[in-house]
Amino acid sequence: MTRDTRTDVDPTGTRASRDVLPDLLRGLALLGIVVVNAPYLGSSTFGFAPEAVASTVDAAVTFLVIALAQGKFFLLFSFLFGYSLAYVLRDDRPDGRARFRRRLAVLAAFGIAHALLLFAGDILLTYAVLGVVLLRLTRSPDRTVRRAARGVFLAGTLLLTAGLGLQAAFPQEVAAVDPAAVAFDAGIADAPLGEAIALRAAVLPTVLGTVAFAQGPYALTAFLVGLLASRRRLLADPAAHAPLWRRLLRIGLGVGLPLQLVAAVLQVGAIRDGVPSGTAGSLGLLLGFVTAPLLTAGSVGLVATGVARRPELMRWAWPAGRMSLTVYLGQSLLLVLVFGGLGIGPGLFGELGTAAVVSVGIATWVVLTALSAWWLRSHDRGPLEAVVARLSTPGGRRP
């Protein structure tokens, strides 16, 4: 079967059978996201520090993370956010739209708390802001949504090109690191909670600005593509769209992957040389972000093709996808406990190479996926998903 046979309750209170493929993809996206986020939580405010990629193994892992994960899985997660909106607004009722607006407000609150307590590079606040734009386009015809997606992608690419062009032209100025980032990297490992919050608050404007600049337009584009896909229920029955998945797979492997390999070579070389903001590093980052949708589309095609042939193939990723908010925030919590920022734990920030840091990130995903499977044996939704549903419902009633 390609659908979950159990009944679920969506945030509007509508009971419906839940498609399996979106949850599988969401669980896979969470794995990719933690692999990308781990260096920022364990090595440096800027992710891959030169000293963390000094060894051949660390450089190889950095290369794989950049080529296969960086810029790809947040797009997949964003696509699924847009796709799921069709379920939230199943009947386009006014109360459903009001609940979604409240849901965005709750996500924004979670995002602010996440950024201050755990990870300054939070994406939830950006999602909450962009979700308002997405909601306004839900009643627009497909042609309008497609035009908006193309326009946002083009504008984001032009903005990123201009920004990275300036970075490459003035690498010395960019290399003059923000003192707040220096203080963060120097003090976060052993900082008690209050001091850690202050350190994150100091770097937050720069980090959130970078997230909005580099990821915001592409996330919104993926939202809109997900909205279009949901109107056709493309993920409801993977076997019904086999030719599409094969086409996406060919594009991803034949075009997207080679371009990402080139982008990774440029970026890793620049990082190891200590000039990530130079011409090669900036060009690699631009190439990686602009062509990331190709490999993301290929990953969707790969998973959908596999699930269409063998529905049980990736059931290991399903529990994490069902509890995506809980797992996303839980990954940050476990990484902070290991690397520092809560005043407890070993405080290993900046002490390990990239390979070890990424391995810890993968381990957090494995642990939380296992816990999710255990939790879902007796609950309809994850604990934080239940909080969002309750707070999104008038009077705090459980849907």
DSSP letter, residue 255? I
**Hey, what are 371's tokens?**
């816990």
Domain boundaries, the chain: 3-396
φ and ψ at 350, to 5 degrees? 80, 0
- Paired with 169 in beta bridges are none
In DSSP terms, 15 is beta-bridged to 9
Q: Which residues of 37-58 are buried (b: 16+ CB within 10 A; e: fewer)?
A: bbbbbbbbbbbbbeebbeeeeb
Give the torsion sign (CA, 75, 377, 14, 123): negative
Cα separation, 53 vs 40, whole angstroms: 13
Three-state SS at 71: coil
Strand-pairing partners, residue 17, are 7
Distances (CA, A) of 201 to 16, 112, 113, 126: 41, 10, 11, 16
- Report residue 14 as tokens: 């509508």
Question: What Å distances lie between residue 124 and 18, 110, 218, 244, 266, CA to CA?
Answer: 23, 7, 15, 30, 30
- Written as tens digits, the pLDDT of the chain (399 aa) is 334 434 343 332 333 456 889 999 999 999 999 999 999 999 988 888 888 788 999 999 999 999 999 999 999 999 999 998 877 776 566 677 888 899 999 999 999 999 999 999 999 999 999 999 999 998 899 999 999 999 999 999 999 999 888 877 776 655 556 788 889 989 999 999 999 999 999 999 888 888 888 899 999 999 999 999 999 999 999 999 999 999 999 999 999 999 999 999 999 999 988 888 888 989 999 999 999 999 999 999 999 999 988 877 778 889 999 999 999 999 999 999 999 888 888 889 989 999 999 999 999 999 999 999 999 999 999 999 999 989 987 655 555
The contacts of residue 250 (CB under 8 Å, 6+ apart) are 298, 301
- 44 with 367: CB under 8 angstroms? no
Model pTM score: 0.90
Dihedral sign, Cα of residue 342, residue 346, residue 352, residue 358: negative
Write the CB contacts of 378 (distance below 8 Å, at least 6 apart in sequence): none
CA 345 to chain centroid:
26
CB atoms within 10 A of CB 75: 26
